[in-house]
A and B are shown apart, each in its own frame.
Chain A
Amino acid sequence: MNHLQGGFLPHRDGEAGAHKETLSPGHLACAGCGLMPAVKLLQQVLGPRTIFVVPACCYSVIDGAYPSSATGMPVMHCAFETAASSASGVRAGLETLGIRDVTVVALAGDGGTFDIGLQALSSAAERNEDILYFCYDNEAYMNTGIQRSSATPRFSWTTTTPEAIPKAERKKDLGAILAAHRIPYFATASLAYPEDLRRKLKTAKEMKGLRVIHYFCPCPTGWKSDPRHMVRLARLAVESRVFPLHEVFEGECWVLNMDPQPVPAGKYLELQGRFGGRTPDQEAAIQKEVDENWKRLMRKVKAC
C-alpha cells in the first residue's frame, strides 16, 4: 500500500552503533511487564549520554529503592504532574552549563501523561522543548493498583470501574492532541515490533524539539492476562487495529507504519481478564470504535 512508509532497522546483538544497555537485573518490574524491553531499547539507541526524568509511575518503583538504582543512567524522580516541566528545567539547566549532547528523556505513564501531567506537557509542546517524552501506556493507574485513567479503553474493568459498570468513555486521543501542538515528532510504538521502535527512537534522537513516543505497554497485573502473553498482546493490539503504529511529523504529516491483515478485536480482548465481563453488544461496540478510529487515522494518512 502506498501510504505505508518507514523501513526497519535490523536488530542484531552487538550491532554497530548500538550502545550497551545499563539496566541491571533485580529491578522491581512485574513479570511480563511490557515496559522493560522498551527501557533496554531506549538505552541501546540513546546511549550513555542520557538523563531520565521520571514522575510518579511504575518506573519510579521499578528503578529500585535507595541506595540502589537499576537504570545505570542518571535518574531524576519528580512529582507526578511535572514530567514535562521538570525535564524542561533539566534541559535549560544543562544548556546554560554548555552541555548540549545529552538526551533528556521524560519517562512517564499514561496517568502522568494523559491526565495529571497533560497541562505541563501541553506547555512544553507549545514551547517546543528539546525533550524526548516517552509515554508508556498501560491504560490505567497500575502503580496505585489499577484505577481508571483517561487512557483506559471503553468497557475495561479497573478497580474504580467495576465489572458491573465498566468504563463507559472512550480512550483519549493523545496523538491528535499533540499533533494539534504541531510538535516535530509523534509516534506510536509497540514492543511486538522492536525494529520499528528502534527506528523511531533513532529518528527521535536525531531530531530537536519535543518528540513524543506513545508506547503500548502490556501489563499482565492490571490487564489480568498471562505474563507470557506480553508480546502476543502487543502484536494483537496492532493486528486488530486497536493500537495502530503510526508517526506524525510537524503535526501535519501522518504516516502509517504497519497495515496488517486485520484480525477481530475479540482476539485481542479474549486474552485479558479486564474485558472478561464484556457482553456481545459491548464487544461489537468496541469493534465499531476500532473501525471508526482506523478510518479517522486513514483519512489523515491519505491526506498527506
Chain B
Amino acid sequence: MPNDPKKRRSSRILTGNQAAAWAAYLARVQVVSAYPITPQTSIVETLAELLSRAPWPHRFINLESEHSAMASCIGASLAGARVFTATSSQGLLLMHELLHWASGARLPVVLVNVNRAVAPGWNIWADQQDSLSQRDTGFVQIYCETAQEVLDSVIIAYRLAEDVQLPVMVNLDAFFLSHTAEPVEIPSPEEVEGFLPARKPVFRLEVERPRAFGGLIGPEGYQRIREDLARAMDSVLPRMDTIGKGWELSFGRSYSNVEPYRMQDAQLALVASSSVAANSRGVVDDLRSRGVAIGLVRIRTFRPFPKEEILRSLRGVRRVAILDRGFSWGRCGILHQEMQSALYGLAEVDRPKTYGYIIGLGGRDATPELIQEAVQQTLHRENPEPETVWLNANRQAYEPPPRWVSTPSRR
C-alpha cells in the first residue's frame, strides 16, 4: 500500500536535542521563541533549520532573554497559535515568573528543558536542580531517558497540553541525552497530524469577542481559579494514560507515568529518573543475577506526582533507595522528599524505609559502582541515619591548596 503513512516513517541518528526539534517540527508549531543557552542550543538551531522549509505559516522569534521568550510564547498562545520554546538551567530560572503565568493563564505552552546545573560556579553538565526547583509553577513535568522518548514525549505533550489547557515541560539530561546520538524513528507528518490535529483554542484574543485575560481578581475568584488549576492538574495522569495508549496504538511505543522494572517480589527498590534510571537498570540486572531481590521504579512524570502508581509498584518493598540529582536545601533530595510524602499515608507496617542518596550533581557520572554503593548502604543500614548520603563526594580532591584560602586581613 504505497499511501500507507506508516511506510513513510524514517529512521535517523539523532541526539536528544535534535529529537526535540524534530518533534516540535512534526507538531507543526506556529510560533517558536528562542534564546540560546548551553546545552539547549542545538534544539533551536535544528528547529530553525527545519522550520525554514516548513510550508505552514510560522514565526521564529529570536528574543533577548528567556524571560521574553516565555512572555512571547504566552502572547502567541493566547492569540491562538501552537508555541514552542526550549531552555536550560539559568534560562529556566529566569523564566520562573512566567512559568507561573503560563499555567495560571491555562495556556498549552510546550517547553523543552535540558537539565543542567545551576550557578555558581558555572557548570553546564547534567543536574536536575533547575527543573525540580520549578515543581510548584503549575507545569506538567516529564523526564525522558532516550532520544526516541524525547521525540515521542514532545508530540504527546502537545496533545496533553491542549487537552487539559496546561503547560508541559519535557526534560532531558544535559549531554548524556541532549548530545548523545542514537537511532530514532521519525513518524510521518500524516501520522502525527492524525494523532495531533491543529490546535483548537478554548479561548483566545479575538476582536470579535472582546474579553480581558489575566486582570484584577478578588480573593474569592482567585481561589476558585487556583482550584480549577489544581483540578486540571488532577486530570493529567489519567489523560496521559489515555493519550499514551493512543500513541502506542499508532506508533507501537508505550510510556507510562511510572515505569517499574523487575519489581516482582522486590524487597528493595531504587527510585530514580532520567539517565540515572537508565544506569540503575544495569545495576538491578547485575544484583538480580546475584540473588538480590531488587527492582527499579523510574519516575517519568514528576508533576503531577504519580503517587498511586508509585505505591502500587512498591507494594511489599521494605526499603527504598532514592537517587536524587536535585536538593532542597535544609531538607533532603527533592525526589526523596516527594517519595516520603507519598509513602506517609501508608500504615507503618506497610511503609518502606526511605534512604536518600545524592548522586551525579553537576554532571558527575552516576556510575553503576556508585549506584551499587547506594544499594549496599541501604542493605546494611538498619535505619536511614543519616537521612541523606552524598555519594562519593570525594571532598579531599577538591580541597583548595592552602595558598588559595583567603585569610581575613588584620587592620
Contacts and interface: CB of A to CB of B under 8 A. Distances in A.
A76 B214 contact: yes
Contacts of A84: 68
A60 B210 CA distance: 16
Given A89-B31, A96-B81, A119-B64, A77 B71 contact: no
Given A48-B207, A61-B216, A90-B205, A79 B97 contact: yes
Interface range on chain A (Cβ under 8 Å from partner)? 35 or more
A69 B214 CA distance: 11
B111 interface: no
A94 B79 contact: yes
A120 B68 contact: yes
B36 to A, nearest CB: 14
Given A89-B72, A119-B65, A96 B31 contact: yes
Given A90-B76, A93-B76, A49 B213 contact: no
Contacts of B73: 89
Contact of A89 (B56, B57, B71): B71
Interface string B222-238: 00000000000000000
Contact of B57 (A72, A98, A126): A98
B355 to A, nearest CB: 41
A93 B80 contact: yes
B87 interface: no
B358 interface: no
B68 A77 contact: no
Interface in B31-67: 31, 33, 56-59, 61-65, 67
A66 B207 contact: no
A95 B59 contact: yes
B74 interface: yes
A90 B31 CA distance: 10
Interface in A44-98: 48-51, 53-54, 60-61, 63-67, 69, 71-79, 81-82, 84-98
Interface in B265-290: none
A51 B205 contact: yes
B77 A93 contact: yes
A172 to B, nearest CB: 19
Given A76-B205, A78-B75, A22 B64 contact: no
B200 to A, nearest CB: 12
A301 B33 CA distance: 38
A93 B207 contact: no
A73 B210 contact: yes
B252 interface: no
Interface range on chain B (Cβ under 8 Å from partner)? 35 or more
B347 interface: no
Given A93-B30, A93-B80, A86 B212 contact: no
A89 B69 CA distance: 9
A86 B216 contact: no
Given A92-B72, A93-B79, A96-B57, A123 B67 contact: no
B75 A53 contact: yes
A63 B30 contact: no
B67 A90 contact: no
Nearest to A94: B79
Given A53-B75, A89-B73, A97-B80, A75 B215 contact: yes
Contacts of A78: 71, 74-75, 101, 214
B202 interface: no
A180 interface: no
A127 interface: yes
Interface string A217-252: 000000000000000000000000000000000000
Contacts of A75: 210-213, 215
A81 B211 contact: no
A128 interface: no
Given A65-B217, A74-B206, A77-B213, A93 B83 contact: yes
Contact of A97 (B79, B209, B221): B79
B78 interface: yes
Interface in A93-137: 93-99, 102, 119-120, 122-123, 126-127
14 contacts: A61-B216, A64-B212, A65-B216, A69-B210, A75-B210, A85-B67, A87-B75, A89-B71, A92-B72, A92-B79, A93-B30, A97-B57, A123-B68, A126-B64
Given A86-B71, A127-B62, 11 more contacts: A50-B207, A69-B210, A75-B211, A75-B212, A79-B97, A85-B67, A93-B81, A96-B30, A96-B56, A97-B81, A123-B63
Interface of A: 22, 48-51, 53-54, 60-61, 63-67, 69, 71-79, 81-82, 84-99, 102, 119-120, 122-123, 126-127
